[in-house]
């Protein structure tokens, strides 16, 4: 509300902008400099541990974290407000934080923190309306800066109960029928799971081999038409054959890399055992247990107005059964 009022009144931001951001207001209210003491070294850059959106790159990979108060360096400055007023503001901010929607665990959302909008690729949060309906709502619908730029998301509210049930039933189907996973492992064997760089290299090699085949055919046609002599034909044929041999060697090396990455047989055995352990308990799980299982096995639920995409992650070893997918992936912050 404060940010909206300041923007409507035309009061410039600290950097001269025309639109105030909630984070800017919070930073001002949290700054002890207005009470007479500025501090140096209150924050420090650290490697980021989470992304603003699971569907967008993290950017620089750097996050700002507060440092312990004992490490701050105090600098006296003229006070604008009293210490009592500043303390009252801090108490109110702390209370607002406790009551914020993101910290409200009163309502149960099975997919809390796992839903993303397909349109603007931002996260969707749980929301409870006065009519006692629960929804997942894209953050892009209410962000004031996006609205000011004319980029307000138009995605519809997703009914939480229906979406939770849809995803849970699909998850149960996956666990009760591991053949679905086996099918995906077959796709992995054919190379569809490989990193984009490796896939691109394989595609390039295949295209080069196909081009060499066409060159061999054209060379033979030219020789049969007596455009070139036998010596020239054999020389060019040998050059093409050597190039073809080198490309085939590259392709074999890429296949070896792929096989080293994906031992599908071993994966299938581990996944089969994991699913068999879960199958007898699925029908009797409480909400907290369902939530724990969803966090383990689902990386993201992407909601469009007409379809839902569920990105599953299945543990392939005992280690994976204890850690969430995003904590295991070293390339998580760079993933698209």
Residue of 201 and 119 predicted with greater confidence? 119
Q: Tell me what pLDDT residue 57 has.
A: 57
For the segment 171-184, the average pLDDT, to the nearest whole number, is 82
Best-predicted range by mean pLDDT (7-21, 53-67, 294-308): 294-308
Which token pair is 303?
């909601």
For the segment 183-200, the average pLDDT, to the nearest whole number, is 62
Range in 25-34, 189-198, 266-275 the model is least confident about: 189-198
Q: Is 71 helix (H, G, I), strand (E, B) or coil?
A: helix
Q: Using CA atoms, how far apart are residues 322 and 333, in angstroms rounded to an integer?
A: 20
- The whole-chain average pLDDT of the chain stands at 78
| Whether pLDDT at 37 is above 50 | yes
Terminal-to-terminal C-alpha distance of the chain: 34
For the segment 317-324, the average pLDDT, to the nearest whole number, is 60
Q: Tell me what pLDDT residue 308 has.
A: 92
| Whether pLDDT at 27 is above 90 | no
Express each pLDDT in 121-158 by its tens digit: 888 888 887 777 888 888 888 766 666 666 788 888 88
| Whether pLDDT at 332 is above 50 | no
| Whether pLDDT at 173 is above 80 | yes
Express each pLDDT in 208-234 by its tens digit: 888 888 888 888 888 888 888 888 888
Q: Tell me what pLDDT residue 217 has.
A: 87
Express each pLDDT in 44-66 by its tens digit: 777 665 555 566 655 555 677 88
Residue of 48 and 287 predicted with greater confidence? 287
Secondary structure of 76-142 in HEC code, one letter for each residue = ECCCCCCHHHHHHHHHHHHHHHHHCHHHCCCCCCCCCCCEEECCCCCEEEEEECCCCCEEEEEHHHC
Q: Tell me what pLDDT residue 104 has.
A: 55
Q: Are 267 and 316 within 8 A, CB to CB?
A: yes
Total Cβ atoms within 10 A of residue 298: 23
Q: Tell me what pLDDT residue 326 has.
A: 45
207 pLDDT band (50/70/90 cuts)?
A: confident
Express each pLDDT in 81-120 by its tens digit: 999 999 999 998 888 776 665 555 667 889 888 898 888 8
Q: Tell me what pLDDT residue 83 has.
A: 92
Q: Using CA atoms, how far apart are residues 109 and 291, in angstroms rounded to an integer?
A: 9
Percent of all residues in the chain with a pLDDT value above 70, rounded to a whole number: 74
Q: Tell me what pLDDT residue 163 has.
A: 93
To which residue do tokens 């967008």 refer?
56
Q: Tell me what pLDDT residue 234 has.
A: 87
Q: Tell me what pLDDT residue 333 has.
A: 37
Q: Using CA atoms, how far apart are residues 314 and 134, in angstroms rounded to an integer?
A: 29
331 pLDDT band (50/70/90 cuts)?
A: very low
* Run of H or E including 49: none
Q: Using CA atoms, how far apart are residues 162 and 138, in angstroms rounded to an integer?
A: 16
């Amino acid at each position: 509300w404060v940010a909206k009022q300041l923007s409507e009144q035309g009061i410039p931001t600290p950097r001269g902008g025309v639109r105030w951001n909630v984070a800017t207001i919070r930073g001002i209210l949290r700054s002890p400099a207005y009470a007479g003491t500025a501090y140096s070294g209150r924050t420090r850059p650290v490697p980021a541990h989470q992304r603003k959106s699971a569907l967008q790159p993290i950017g620089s990979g750097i996050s700002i974290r507060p440092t312990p108060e004992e490490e701050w360096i105090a600098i006296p400055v003229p006070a604008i407000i009293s210490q009592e007023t500043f303390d009252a503001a801090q108490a109110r901010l702390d209370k607002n934080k406790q009551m914020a929607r993101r910290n409200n665990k009163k309502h149960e959302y099975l997919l809390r923190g796992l839903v993303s909008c397909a349109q603007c690729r931002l996260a969707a949060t749980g929301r409870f309306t006065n009519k006692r309906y629960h929804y997942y709502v894209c953050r892009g619908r209410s962000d004031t800066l996006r609205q000011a730029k004319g980029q307000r998301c138009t995605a519809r509210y997703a009914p939480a109960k229906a979406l939770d049930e849809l995803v849970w039933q699909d998850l149960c189907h996956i666990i009760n029928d591991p053949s679905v996973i086996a099918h995906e492992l077959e796709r992995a064997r054919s190379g569809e799971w490989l990193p984009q760089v490796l896939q691109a290299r394989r595609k390039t090699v295949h295209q080069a081999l196909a081009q060499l085949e066409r060159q061999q055919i054209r060379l033979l046609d030219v020789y049969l038409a007596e455009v070139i002599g036998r010596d020239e034909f054999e020389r060019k044929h040998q050059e093409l054959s050597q190039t073809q041999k080198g490309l085939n060697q590259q392709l074999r090396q890429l296949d070896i890399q792929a096989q080293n990455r994906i031992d599908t047989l071993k994966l299938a055995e581990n996944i089969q055992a994991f699913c068999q352990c879960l199958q007898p308990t699925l029908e009797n799980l409480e909400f907290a247990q369902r939530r724990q299982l969803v966090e383990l096995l689902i990386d993201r639920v992407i909601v469009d107005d007409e379809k839902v995409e569920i990105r599953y992650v299945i543990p392939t070893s005992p280690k994976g059964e204890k850690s969430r997918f995003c904590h295991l992936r070293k390339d998580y912050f760079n993933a698209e």
